Structure 1
Amino acid sequence: MKQIHPSYSVFTLFLLFTLLPFYGCSADSTTNKEASGSTDSQPVEATYKAPQDLNYEALDTATFAGGCFWCTETVFERVQGVKEVVSGYAGGSEANPTYKQVSAGMTSHAEAVQVYYDPEVVSFNTLAEVFFKGAHDPTQLNRQGPDVGEQYRSVAFYSTPQEKQIIEEMIAKLEKEGYYDARIVTQVEPLGRFWIAEDYHQDYYVNNPDNSYIQSVSRPKVEKFKEKFKDILKEDYPQ
């Protein structure tokens, strides 16, 4: 049996615990570390608050996980009837998860977005269609593009039996039509608690247009979505 030199294994562990927390949809580990203000021993809960001028009583919510939330957030924000999209973490059991923990695969959470929308303008069915056809690739298991791990898994969360039915019927329809060459692997789960991500993740695409990940991964995905869903795009949203 090949022997591993002790110093090599120590070096490997060093890499795992110092570099992996910044992999994923992050392209600038130093900036993210400073912005999150979190440490391994003392997670910092997010302080982001959704806009107070929205009439939340008139809005419904939809929650999806489809890879890096920088991408999925900016896709849904462009849809008519969507009033606010919040990046966060869902689908796991750990309380107060941080980006450093989730992106390193140290929790059972997935990067997710919560969509606040006006049901008089856009339906849950349309949002589900955007999720399955325009926000990500639902055939990729535990990954989206360059981001690999269960934290980037595809999940459609539901809060009512009606939402569950819409999601399952849409998956069945896409499978029957052969919309994708591969099988859809999206998980359909009841929504538990949604944990809001750190402030600097909110509107990341708009606020960091020169970020290398945004340029190489997010922008092509957004442009593809805009081409496919022209009829439901907001006219005044920043490009």
Structure 2
Amino acid sequence: MTTTRAFLTTASLLVAALLMTGCQQQSSTNNSPKDTSPAKLPELQSGEAVATFAAGCFWCTEAQFESLRGVREVVSGYAGGELENPTYEQVGTDQTGHAESIQVYYDPRVIPFDTLVKAFFIGHDATSLNRQGPDVGTQYRSIAFYRTPAEKASIETAIRRENESGRYSRPVVTQVVPFRAFYPAEVYHQGYYYTHPDELYVSSVSTPKVEKFRERMASWLKKPN
């Protein structure tokens, strides 16, 4: 009985630590110098397309999608709300309507939009309403943005497939939303997964999700340099 209590106490402390070091909390408690200016969006190259998704903390989703063949660049930012040029702190209040999002610059001749949608559903729990792991709030909701009727149809087909798969006890709650605007996050958020590997949140939450994603998307991963 004593051993059981000790285990439960340890587990509770770990959960509490993760809750205190979630995507929003961890960044706000990091005292290292930060470049808080908005990142610049890359110029669209010839033959390239853009896709936008929200699937929880963007530190993780950025790293997931950057590992895919045919993806040139991924930018972390904010989408789905009304406030123009929001800051990380404003989005974190859960009052701006924005969700932490990523914008993917990719070559559709190499990786089609349908495959990006597949990766989107593999990379997070699309049945979790306004929450991914320790991150809670509408800024962590699941959204698939579309720019064309064909993209909307692709997302809706994927949702039906996910719901009919029998893998989930709850229905998919992903919002299917027309794309309107994407605001790049601050410079210090870009590539955060790679520059802060030892942070508790990154090592305990982000890394397992990225590794699981790469296992399931193995046939689409970029070749190692």
Same fold by TM (over 0.5)? yes
1:121 matched to which residue of 2? 110
Q: Which secondary structure state, in structure 2, belongs to the residue aligned with residue 56 of structure 1?
A: coil
Unmatched runs of 5 consecutive residues or more in structure 1: 1-21, 38-44
- Residue matched to 1:220: 208
Do 1:142 and 1:150's aligned partners in 2 also have CA atoms closer than 8 Å?
yes
What is the CA distance between 1:227 and its match in structure 2? 1.3
User: What TM-score does the superposition give when structure 2 sets the normalisation length?
Assistant: 0.85
Q: 1:28 offset after TM fit, Å? A: 4.1
Residue 162 of structure 2 aligns to which amino acid in structure 1? L
Output the CA distance in 1 between the equivalents of 2:46 and 2:146: 19
| Residues 86-165 of structure 1 mapped to structure 2, 5 A cutoff | 86-133=75-122, 135-165=123-153
CA distance in 2, matches of 1:51, 1:164: 24
Q: What is the CA–CA distance in structure 1 between the aligned matches of 2:105 and 2:167, rounded to whole Å?
A: 28
State how many pairs are aligned: 205
Q: Give the structure 1 partner of residue 199 of structure 2.
A: 211
Separation in structure 2 between the aligned mates of residue 195 and residue 51 of structure 1, nearest angstrom: 12
Task: Give the letter for the 2:26 counterpart.
Answer: A
- Structure 2 gap segments, 5+ residues each: 1-20
Conserved? CA contact 2:22–2:134, under 8 Å: no
**AA at the equivalent of 1:100:** E
Instruction: Decide whether aligned partners of structure 1 residues 58 and 207 sit closer, same or farther in structure 2, where only a CA change above 3 A counts.
Output: same
**Structure 2 residue aligned with 1:64, among 37, 53, 71?**
53
Does structure 1 residue 229 correspond to structure 2 residue 222?
no
SS of residue in 2 equivalent to 1:188: strand
Letter in 1 for 2:127: T
Deviations 1:108-153 (A, max 9, x none): 10000000001110000000000012x1110000010000000000
Aligned mates of 1:213, 1:79 — CA distance in 2:
23
* Structure 2 SS opposite 1:58: coil
Partner Cα separation in structure 2 for residue 24 and residue 224 of structure 1: 19
* Counterpart-to-counterpart distance in 1, 2:108 and 2:72: 11
Q: Which moved more, 1:226-235 or 1:77-86?
A: 226-235
Query: What CA distance in whole angstroms lies between the structure 2 residues aligned with 1:32 and 1:83?
Result: 31
Deviations 1:153-197 (A, max 9, x none): 000000000000000011011112223222100000001110000
Identical positions, percent = 52
Q: Which residue of 1 aligns with 2:71?
A: 82
User: How many angstroms apart in 1 are the aligned matches of 2:97 and 2:204?
Assistant: 27
Larger radius of gyration: 1
- Map of 1:31 onto structure 2: 30
Deviating 4+ runs (over 6 angstroms) = none
1:49 corresponds in structure 2 to 40
Deviations 1:173-224 (A, max 9, x none): 1112223222100000001110000000101101111121100100010111
- 1:180 matched residue in structure 2: 168
Once the two structures are TM-superposed, the CA of residue 91 in structure 1 deviates from its matched residue by 0.3
Per chain length, whose mean CA-contact separation is higher, i.e. which structure has more relative contact order (CA < 8 Å, sep 6+)?
2
Q: CA RMSD in A?
A: 1.9
TM-score by length of 1: 0.80
Per the alignment, in what secondary structure is the counterpart of residue 27 of structure 1? helix
Write out per-residue CA displacement over residues 61-85 of structure 1, whole angstroms, 9 at most, x where no aligned residue: 1100000000110000001100000
